[in-house]
Amino acid sequence: MPMRSSADAGRVAPSMMAARAPMPKSFRIEGLMIPLPLRALFAAALFTLIGGAASATPLAPDELPKADRIVVWKAKRELDLMAKGIVIRAYPIALGGHPKGPKLLKGDGRTPEGIYVIDRRLRQTEYHRALHISYPNPADRVRAKGGDTGGDIFIHGMPRAFGRKDPVRFFTDWTNGCIAVGNIAIEEIWNAVDDGTPIEIHP
């Protein structure tokens, strides 16, 4: 495991962009489904009530180096952007409603564990932006024993109603298996991460 630097003291993230079209009705993300907006907004209300949300000034794309790896620590609820073995930015995350253990089957509410890549991205979703994770990998298929693994697992932002305030931390896990970050955070991750970037998801 790479050594942590003082850079990961910066917990919350930022960047740019605004107008998004609604998600097409035919588009389905396993980690983003009704009634998740209600759960997400409940989480957002908690941040606001206890002072756990803060506005942030977006970093320009040239203010953050390109990440060469993403590392997710499920137990710590943290996503780290890495460059040359150093944490360049760390973000609080929310996971699926059943966060312990690797994802086994579609609809189990678990977030995958393993090594994947970011293989595509969506600018227009109800959860701001989304980066697709290449789940399932061969180990996931073996673990599923022929069952339906699902596959629509993303890193994504919050509902639009949450606006441009990122949580200091999430007080509840509310996705169906995706990895949720704040809306400014997903913009920064979007800018720092190219398609093909590896992502490690640890317990």
Catalytic residues: 156, 178
Q: How far apart are CA 10 and CA 175, in angstroms?
A: 24
Q: How far apart are CA 175 and CA 53, in angstroms?
A: 19
Contact (Cβ atoms closer than 8 angstroms) between residue 174 and residue 147: no
Q: How far apart are CA 142 and CA 140, in angstroms?
A: 5
Q: How far apart are CA 82 and CA 88, in angstroms?
A: 6
Q: How far apart are CA 167 and CA 13, in angstroms?
A: 10
Q: How far apart are CA 90 and CA 17, in angstroms?
A: 21
User: CA-based angle 95:77:109, to the nearest 5?
Assistant: 15
Terminal-residue alpha carbon distance, the chain: 14
